[in-house]
């Protein structure tokens, strides 16, 4: 009879997520994962079957958490659209100090995107969900006169997420808060 698990699987996934977020998939060793999760090698492989399986679980968890937060901001119709966009971008400027800098999704796209179509498909679906939500919010703002109706709503949404990605890359390389704030404000003014 197998022994029952004596650890919190979600907590282990969260700990592994921080390691992958900081170091990337390829640079993260099994020993790094053992140290972060407090699990032995056999527990990691018995639970997650492989480093890749654990990475996939962390990436899915990351997208679920951060996409839910982003969608909540995007869909908050009590705020003007420019304020929603500011808040969406501001997360890259004043990131949670307990989290690694940058973005696990952006890091993964850069590292694995060119050679891993399965990862690209997962991240594309996640991105499309947010893009559609922001496009819809922009169109609603056009209908109320907040944004000029002749502007391309889908193009504006793509622009916002492109800027967000750039802000996260800049954060990873240590960009100053002042320079990041200037980008956010310039983006909001351009919408």
pLDDT at 7: 62
For residue 9, tell me if it sits in a domain: no
Q: For residue 71, what are the domain limits?
A: 60-190
CB within 8 Å of 146: residues ≥ 6 apart: 80, 81, 82
- 2 part of a folded domain: no
Total domains, the chain: 1
For residue 121, give both structure tokens. 């498909």
Beta-sheet strands, E only, within 6-63: none
Alpha carbon separation from 106 to 39, 86, 156 (Å, rounded): 28, 20, 20
Query: Three-class SS of residue 6?
Result: coil
**pLDDT (0 to 100) of residue 1:** 45
Query: The domain spanning residue 84 has which CATH number?
Result: 1.10.357.10
Return per-residue pLDDT of the chain as tens, 191 residues. Answer: 454 455 678 899 999 999 999 999 999 999 999 999 998 888 888 888 899 999 999 999 999 999 999 999 999 999 999 999 999 999 888 878 888 888 999 999 999 988 999 999 999 999 999 999 999 999 999 999 999 999 999 999 999 999 999 999 998 888 998 999 999 999 999 99
């Amino acid at each position: 009879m197998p022994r029952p698990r004596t650890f919190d699987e979600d907590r282990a996934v969260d700990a592994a997520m921080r390691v992958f977020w900081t170091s990337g998939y390829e640079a993260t060793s099994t020993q790094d994962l053992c140290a972060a999760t407090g699990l032995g090698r056999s527990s990691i492989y018995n639970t997650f079957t492989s480093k890749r399986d654990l990475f996939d679980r962390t990436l899915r968890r990351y997208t679920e958490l951060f996409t839910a937060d982003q969608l909540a901001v995007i869909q908050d119709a009590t705020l003007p659209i420019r304020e929603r966009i500011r808040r969406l971008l501001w997360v890259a400027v004043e990131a949670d100090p307990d989290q690694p800098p940058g973005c696990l999704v952006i890091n993964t796209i850069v590292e694995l995107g060119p050679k891993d179509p399965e990862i690209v498909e997962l991240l594309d679906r996640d991105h499309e969900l947010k893009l559609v939500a922001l496009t819809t919010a922009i169109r609603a703002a056009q209908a109320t006169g907040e944004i000029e109706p002749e502007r391309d709503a889908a193009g504006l949404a793509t622009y916002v997420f492109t800027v967000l990605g750039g802000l996260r890359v800049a954060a990873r390389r240590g960009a100053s808060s002042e320079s990041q704030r200037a980008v956010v404000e310039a983006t909001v003014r351009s919408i």
